[in-house]
Every structure is written in C-alpha cells, then in structure tokens.
Amino acid sequence: MDPKDLKFFEELLHRRLQELLSNAGETVSGMTEQKENFPDPTDRATLESDRNFMLRIRDREYKLINKVKKALDRIENGTFGICEKCGEDISIERLKARPVTTQCIDCKTKEEAFEKALGI
Ligand SMILES: [Zn+2]
C-alpha cells in the first residue's frame, strides 16, 4: 500500500480509537452516577434494564476498540489492507468505508453467503 494511504488510515484509526476510548469513559461515569437508592421496585427494574443496555453498549464498544487496535497493529507490522483469507489487497474504497476490515469484498461476500447457507 502507498505509504501516504497507510498514513491516512493510521491517523483515521488513531482518531477512531480516541473517540471510542472517551465514549467508553463516559459510559462508565454514566453508570456510576446512577448508583442511587430507588426504593420503588419499578424504578429499580428500569435502572437494571438501563444498566444491561449500558453493558451491551460497553461490550460492543470494547469489541470495536479491539478491532481498531488490531488494525493499528496490522499497520505496524505491514499487513494492513491485505486480505487475511486470500492475501490480495483490499480496495482503498472498502478500507475507507470500513478501516477495521480484514477481508477483501470477495472473501467477505463468500463468507456471508456461507454463513447464510448454514443459518448462522
Ligand atoms: Zn480475499
């Protein structure tokens, strides 16, 4: 990949990581702020489902943070933008739309078709 493009994605991913990390921090402080006593069971139920919702978001954020970190690792070790399935270059357009992707569109399409066929 062109070093200029690589630099572009490195900066993009770093920004994304910072965003995600600061969002994750906000979710945590949001959760601790809610640590109040609600004597009403209905309120407590609402609080619980809010908490579950937060945890689900946290889980998603956590996974995404990991993906972004892995993409940055790939930039570091020179495998960024190379499909992990077939070893071909992933198109710049695809990477711009989804910088954390590890597969070219052909392999991804095949995989999705396969998963669909299996009913995953
Ligand atoms: Zn591929």
Task: Encode pLDDT of 78-88 as tens digits.
Answer: 999 999 999 99
Across the chain, mean pLDDT equals 88
Q: Which pLDDT value is given to residue 54?
A: 87
Among 3.40.640.10, 3.30.200.20, 1.20.120.910, 1.10.1040.10, what is the CATH number of 1-80? 1.20.120.910
Taking residue 80's Cβ as centre, other Cβ atoms within 10 Å add up to 22
- pLDDT for 72 equals 98
Residue 81, classified by CB atoms within 10 Å of its CB into exposed (0-12), middle (13-18) or buried (19+), is buried
97, pLDDT greater than 70? yes
SS3 of 78, please? coil
Interval between CA 116 and ligand 1 midpoint (Å): 18
Separation of alpha carbons 25 and 19, rounded Å: 10
Tell me the C-alpha distance between 74 and 35, whole Å.
40
Q: How far apart are the CA of 31 and the centre of ligand 1, in A?
A: 41
Q: pTM here?
A: 0.75
What pLDDT score was predicted for residue 101? Answer: 96
